[in-house]
Amino acid sequence: MSWQSRAHLVRGRTLNRWGIGIVLAMLLLFPHGELRADETLRSLLDINFERLVNTEVMPIDVLGSHIHLKGEWMLGYRYRVMSMEGNRDGARRQADAEVLQSFTVAPTAMTKEMHLVEIMYGFTDDLTIMALLPYKRLSMEHLTGTGVRFTTESRGFGDLALMAHYSIWRRPPHRLIILGSVRLPTGSITKRDDTPTAVNAKQPYPMQLGTGTMDLQPGLTYIGQTKDWAWGGHAMATVGAGRNSEDYRVGNRYRMAAWGGYRITDWISPSLGATMQFWERYSGADSELNPALVPTADPSRRGGRRLDVKVGLNLFATKGAMRGHRLSAEFGFPIYQHLSGPQLETDWILTAGWTWRF
Ligand SMILES: [Cu+2]
């Protein structure tokens, strides 16, 4: 045998050994490799699933935007202030003088403040229950035809809401949740205050703290979440039942929201969202209110629609002593509003809150 052929043989044997080795390795390792890839994928999905129910990158001002895992509690406090100034009829602004051509009194501005306490509990991985109680402080400024300015105020608890979220479908990173809430008429609808012409006068519709009826709130939420991104959509209706003790019913309200958030670091995530709302005029009427006096006392001037843009910021800790705590703030302003007016227009809404998961 020549040196060359021997070298060829050795190389061939070596190649054969390598070949057998590779095939064996493939036979032995490939199923493992597949399994390992599968496990890696599964654990990634689990991470996503875990994060999916986390409340870190969620919009603060959307009800039913998240759920909790079995046995997890959440306590939350939210402060929300809404500023309204100037009137609108349809999409058009209306000057106070114009409102005073048809009414004795014109509302000029309103501030709605709300302190909201919420408690949530994950009954199972799919079912989360929740209770929310608002405390409201409303103040309204007026101008009369004779040039007198006055402010009225009402404060107290609003309507208590009991809510259930049920996850009907999930395929990470997607999740679909149905929600249902019953709102009990714990808020007063008989608030009174002094005006220049009447002592202890019944306050008009927007100054009352509750609806006075049992309300149902069905809704649907879609949540998507990857390692750093969170997005979602939400639709919810608020429907009153029957008439309240003052013989009227607050108009139905329909709300649609969409949002997206991005985790910049382990502890900060900004968010961007939009909310479209439609609300109907009231039916019936409180016989103590005179709709010719001020537009806020007219049940047919209560409907409208509005599109808000919202910019938010979430701060949270994923480890350490502050783990589970989240601070959030969101600023919203309308880019479109159409009111059956004259009605006060919304200028901006600020929400700030703290939540604690444990
Ligand atoms: Cu929660």
Strand pairing class (253-262; 149-157): unpaired
Instruction: Name the residue type at position 190.
Output: T
Amino acid at 108: T
275-330: pLDDT as tens digits: 999 999 999 999 999 999 999 999 999 999 999 999 999 998 777 777 888 899 99
- Total number of residues shown for the chain: 358
Provide the pLDDT for residue 306.
97
Residue with tokens 């609300």: 279
Looking at every residue in the chain, the average pLDDT score rounds to 86
Average pLDDT for residues 209-236, to the nearest whole number?
A: 92
CA angle 337, 183, 90 (to 5 degrees): 15
Among candidates 154, 223, 211, which has minimal Cα distance to 181? 211
How far is the C-alpha of 73 from the C-alpha of 358, rounded, in Å? Answer: 5
249: its two tokens: 């019913």
Identity of the amino acid at 268:
I
Q: Which of 238, 237, 138, 134 is nearest to 187 (CA)?
A: 134
Q: How far is the CA of 56 from the centre of ligand 1 (A)?
A: 10
356 CA distance to ligand 1 centroid (A)?
Answer: 8
From CA 51, how far away is CA 43, in angstroms rounded?
12
Ligand 1: centre distance to CA 74 (Å):
5
Which pLDDT tens digit goes with each residue over 53-84? 455 667 777 777 788 888 999 999 999 999 99
Report how far ligand 1's centroid is from the alpha carbon of 68 (Å).
6
Q: Give every CB contact of residue 348 below 8 A, 6+ residues apart in sequence.
A: 82, 83, 331, 332, 333
> Residue 144 is encoded by which pair of tokens?
């009369």
Of 213, 155, 204, 226, which Cα lies nearest the Cα of 183? Answer: 213
Structural domains of the chain ordered from first start: 53-357 (2.40.160.40)
27: Cα within 13 Å, side-chain hemisphere: 6
Tell me the CA–centroid distance for residue 323 and ligand 1, in Å.
15
Predicted pLDDT of residue 157: 98
CA angle 231, 234, 238 (to 5 degrees): 160
Distances in Å between the Cα of 255 and the Cα atoms of 112, 194, 279, 324 are 19, 34, 9, 29
pLDDT in tens, 112-138: 999 999 999 999 989 999 999 999 999
Is the peptide bond preceding residue 173 cis, with omega within 30 degrees of 0? yes
Spatial CA neighbour of 141 closest among 84, 68, 182 = 84
* Cα-based angle 284, 287, 289 (whole degrees, multiple of 5): 105
pTM of the model as a whole: 0.82
357 C-alpha to center of ligand 1: Å? 7
Q: What is the pLDDT of residue 202?
A: 94
55 CA distance to ligand 1 centroid (A)? 6
